[in-house]
Amino acid sequence: MTAQAATTAVQAAGQGTRCALLHGIRVADLCYLALRLSGWAVVTTCCVVAVYAGFFWMLGQFSLAGLILHFDNFGERFLAADAVRRSRFEAELAGLSAALFALIGFFRRHSFPPLFADKKEISNVSK
């Protein structure tokens, strides 16, 4: 690639960023926001799963054998239940999971630094 071709590519990229404005917000900022939110949601969901695992570990008297036995008992009883009881349990589990997600999310709300701070402020924070 020649120097002139590299210069034109850089200028075209600069024009592309100007064209990528969406109501005053760049597409890169939206991608950054989406990545931050999805990462936060994944970590919060993992925390909810860890609460359930900790509950079964506690029921198993804090031993691996007890944990696995309780998971086995839980699975057997779930599979033996009729469809009405299964759907009722799934609805209760979804409600409890949503409540745990909201509670854990509330306590994790400070994990977001200012998302759209000025570049001057971001450079001061990173130093």
Interatomic CA distance for residues 79 and 91, integer angstroms = 16
Using a pLDDT cut of 70, give the percent of the chain over it.
69
The pLDDT value given to residue 106: 93
Lowest mean pLDDT among 2-11, 61-70, 75-84: 2-11
Q: Which residue in the block uniquely carries the two structure tokens 């799934």?
A: 90
- Arithmetic mean of pLDDT over the chain: 81
Q: Give the predicted TM-score (pTM) of the model.
A: 0.68
E strand or H helix that includes residue 63 = none
Angle between helix 83-107 and helix 27-59 axes, rounded to 10 deg: 120
Is 122's pLDDT higher than 80? no
Per residue in 88-117, pLDDT (tens digit) is: 999 999 999 999 999 999 999 888 766 655
- Two tokens, residue 40: 């936060």
Q: Is 61 left (phi over 0), alpha (psi -120 to 50) or beta?
A: left
Cα 37 versus chain centre, distance: 6
